[in-house]
Amino acid sequence: MKTGARRHATATDEGSAALFERIRDFLLDQRLSADPRHYQFAYRIMTETDGVLARSVQTLTEGGFRLTARDIEKLGGEAAVAPPLSVVPPPPRAPEQRHESVAAMPDAAALADGLIARTQAQVAGFSDMVHAIRTETEDFSRDLAASADAIHATSDVDEVVRLTSVMLAHVQAAESRLADATVEASELRVALEEARENARRDPLTDLPNRRAFEEAFARAGAGRPIHVALCDIDRFKSVNDRFGHAVGDRVLKAIAAALSSACEGHLVARHGGEEFAVLFVGVDRDEAVATLESARAQVAARRFRVRESDAQIGAVTFSAGISGTSRAEDLSAVLARADALLYAAKHAGRDQLRAG
C-alpha cells in the first residue's frame, strides 16, 4: 500500500511539474510577469487545451506575435500592469560610445489581417444561414398553401387544429432562425469594426501603424503643404541588450507617448521597429521643423530608470529627418528623402534632425 501511494504521489508530482513548466514557458514566451492573474490565465489555457480560450490564444499568437494586455482582457483574463518607467532629473550627459544597431519587431498588420480573415469566415457562415432561411421560407410558403387547401377541403375540426399547429410550428422555427441571424449580424458588425481598428493600430504603442499612415498621406491630397518626418531611436539595441526586451518595449511606449504629446494635432505613427513617422499637413516647413525639434529636445531632456531595480537607463534620444512636398507625389519618394536626411543626422552625431 505504501509503495502504491508513493508511486501515485510521484506521478502526480511529475504531472504538476510538467504543467508548471508549460505555464512558465508560456509566460516567458509572451513576456508576461509571474503575477497570479497571468498564472491563472495561463493555467486555464494549459489545462483546457481544446477549449475556446486556448484556441483563441493560438490564433492570436500565430506567426510569433505576443498577447497584449487588451488581448488578455478581451479573452476574459485580467492583465497585470507592468511597472512604468520613471523619469529622474537629468544628470550631466556623457558621450555615447556604443555602436548603432536596429532591433526589428513584428508588424501588427499581420495580426489584424488574421482577425479580418476570421471575420470574413463569419460573414461566409452568415451568408449560408441567410440562404438556408430563404430556402425554408420558400418551403414554408408551399406548405402554407397546401395546408390552406387542406383546411378548405375538410370539415374535421381535429384535422384543422393539426394543420394549424403545423403552420404555427413553421412560423416559430422561422422566427427563431431570424432572431439568431439578427444576433449574428450584430456580432459581425462589432467584429468588423474591431478588425478595421486593429488593422490600423500598433498593439504595443497604441499608435496608428504604417498602413494608417499611408492612408492618411493619401487623403491629404495635393495643393496643401505636407511634411513627412522619420524618427529613429538612437542605439535602441543597447537598451534591449542591457535591460531586456520588456524594458525596451516600455521605452518604445514612453517615446511614442512623448512624440504624440509634443506633436499634438499631427499624425504620429509607429513605422516599424524603433522608428516612428510624423505627418504634418497644412503647416509650413519652419513650423513643422520647430514642432519636431521641440519633441526631440523634450525626449532628450528625460532620464529613465527601471523602477523594479532602480537601474539607470539614462537618456534615450532619437534622430530625425523631415522632408516636404506641396504637390501630388508618391509617399515612397517623400519617405526616401526623409530617410536619407535621418541617416545624415545619425552620421552627424545623433540626437538631432535634418530637414530638406
Q: DSSP character for 277?
A: E
Query: Nearest to residue 321, comparing CAs of 290, 286, 301, 346?
Result: 346
At what angle are helices 108-153 and 52-60 packed, to 10 degrees?
A: 130
Question: What is 210-355's CATH superfamily?
Answer: Reverse transcriptase/Diguanylate cyclase domain (3.30.70.270)
Query: Which residue ranges in the chain fall short of pLDDT 70?
Result: 1-14, 62-65, 70, 80-157, 159-161, 163-164, 167, 170, 181, 185, 188, 191-192, 194-197, 221-222, 327-328
Produce one character per residue of 52-66: b if its CB has 16 or more CB atoms within 10 Å, e if not: eeeebbeebbeeebb
Q: Which residues contact 206 (CB under 8 A, 6 or more apart)?
A: 256
Which helix (H) or strand (E) segment is 101 a member of? none
Measure the CA–CA gap between 179 and 352, rounded to whole angstroms: 61
Alpha carbon 44 to chain centroid distance? Answer: 22
Q: What are the contacts of 120-123 at 24+ separation with CB within 8 A?
A: 122/184, 122/187, 122/188, 122/191, 123/188
pTM, rounded to two decimals: 0.53
* Location of C-alpha cell 494586455: 69
Q: Given this model, what pLDDT does residue 183 score?
A: 75
Measured torsion, CA atoms of residues 161, 163, 164, 170, in degrees rounded to the nearest 10: 150
DSSP class per residue in 125-179: HHHHHHHHHHHHHHHHHHHHHHHHHHHHH---HHHHHHHHHHHHHHHHHHHHHHH
Q: How far apart are CA 128 and CA 135, in angstroms?
A: 11
Task: Give the catalytic positions in this structure.
Answer: 274
Fill in the amino acid letter for 79: A
Q: Which three cell numbers stand for residue 285?
A: 516647413
DSSP one-letter code for 123:
H
Return the pLDDT at 37: 85
pLDDT of residue 99: 32
CA distance 79 to 252: 19
Residue pair 119/190 in contact (Cβ under 8 Å)? The answer is no
Torsion of CA 28, 31, 33, 34, to 10 degrees: -20
State the pLDDT at residue 341: 97
Bridging pattern class, strands 303-306 and 311-314:
antiparallel
pLDDT at residue 105, as a whole number: 37
* SS3 call for 268: strand
Which one, of 214, 285, 196, 207, lies nearest residue 253 by Cα? 207
Residue 165 backbone zone (phi > 0: left; psi -120 to 50: alpha; other: beta) = alpha
pLDDT of residue 166: 72
Q: What is d(CA 339, CA 334) in angstroms, rounded to the nearest whole number? A: 9
Kindly list the domain boundaries of the chain, sorted by start residue: 19-81, 109-198, 210-355
